[in-house]
Amino acid sequence: MKYSTPRPPHLNNGKGLNKALLPDVREYLIAQGIEPKGRTLWIKVVCPFHDDKAPSLSINTQKGCFKCFACEAKGGDIIAFHMQLKGIGFVEACKQLGAWEES
Ligand SMILES: [Zn+2]
């Protein structure tokens, strides 16, 4: 499955996604109960999208893009990660991540 992050149409008038408000990737993972090991740009974590035993999911700690080498879960940013993890849509994911501005 492919997940892309649509650009909100109202991005230009001060509403919608504000990427500056997105959480730090490491802090986000910890909040989801996923331990981010290592200090490198790409780290491997236990994949939350399948019954993972060994860390199979690679995630970029700056951009949040990720790919699991076992179950093929992948996405371009932490919003896509959260959407897949919770099974929710783009706007709801942005809101839960605290990066959605209503006005
Ligand atoms: Zn996986």
**In order along the chain (103 residues), what is the average pLDDT of each group of 10 residues?**
57 79 97 94 97 96 97 98 98 97 86
Give the distance (Å) from ligand 1 centre to CA of residue 30.
17
The whole-number pLDDT of residue 44 equals: 96
CATH superfamily of this structure's domain 17-97: Zinc finger, CHC2-typedomain (3.90.580.10)
The whole-number pLDDT of residue 4 equals: 61
Residues 25, 51: Cα–Cα separation, whole Å: 22
The whole-number pLDDT of residue 103 equals: 75
Give the distance (Å) from ligand 1 centre to CA of residue 15.
33
Extract the tokens encoding 85: 């993890």
- Beta strand pairing call for 16-17 and 100-101: antiparallel
Residues 90, 16: Cα–Cα separation, whole Å: 11
Domain boundaries of the chain, sorted by first residue: 17-97
Residues 82, 94: Cα–Cα separation, whole Å: 9
- pTM of the shown model: 0.84
Give the distance (Å) from ligand 1 centre to CA of residue 45.
10
Give the distance (Å) from ligand 1 centre to CA of residue 19.
26
